[in-house]
Amino acid sequence: MTALDDLRRDIDAIDDQLLNLIDRRVEIGREIARAKGPNGGPFLRPGREAAILRRLSQQARPPLSASLIGRIWREILISNLAQQTAVTVAFSGGDGVHLLVRDHFGSSAQVTPLDDTPAVVDAVASGRVFLGVIALRNDDPSRPWWRHLLQMDKPSQQPRVISRLPFFANGGALEAVVIAGFDSDASGDDISFYADCGGAEADWQIHEISGHPQDQDHRPPAGDNTIYLGTYPQPLSQATAI
């Protein structure tokens, strides 16, 4: 047996160990879901996922890049989530947004394209899908993405932002947000969206405020007409202004 054969046997042994570890990780995820019970909150915790990816990215050593680590662990995380609930994702915005969705939610998600942002918001608000993804930029500057979150008959029906994509820099200009019928958990480095709906509709504004509402030092914008739109973990990419 040659030295090359020995190296290949080592790789096979490592692959077997990796598979066993992934199986164990998925089983622990099931145990956590059972321990939480039916009223233990949403299965998806974007803040927890972001904290995991940040920690692992800091440990990445060449030739492994942070984005490669992210792609591998995103597949693991979503595969684990899919064992607990159906990961159904609606999106609008064409092929570019579709690529963001697939990069973030991997092969386990059931992805459905819809015609526009209102259709995505409605699908999430009605519970037809678990998550929605909408581009930050659209073809109608008079009706930016966040205004569609304010069109619900009741505030309790309003989906909230829970993530911002891409989480890892990909060299592209396209960005999107993930919306859900529940709030994101704190990641330790978060940004919160608030809409200022005072005055005429043309004067409505959106604010990005550092922190999570759970943070003791978090200070939302003052005003009786301020509406909370959600919180996302700060990506490891450079986010552009909205």
Which pLDDT does position 221 carry in this prediction?
85
Intervals of the chain under pLDDT 70: 38-41, 138-142, 152-156, 170-172, 237-242
Question: For residues 159-188, b (16+ Cβ closer than 10 Å) or e, as one string?
Answer: bbbbbbbbbbeeeeebbbbbbbbbbbbbbe
pTM of the model: 0.89
Which pLDDT does position 39 carry in this prediction?
67
135 has which bridge partners?
Answer: 176
Residues composing the chain? 242
Assess contact for 177 and 164: CB atoms under 8 A: yes
- By the 10 Å C-beta count (0-12 exposed, 13-18 middle, 19+ buried), 33 is classed as middle
Which pLDDT does position 18 carry in this prediction?
94
User: What is the CATH number that goes with domain 44-233?
Assistant: 3.40.190.10
Which pLDDT does position 157 carry in this prediction?
77
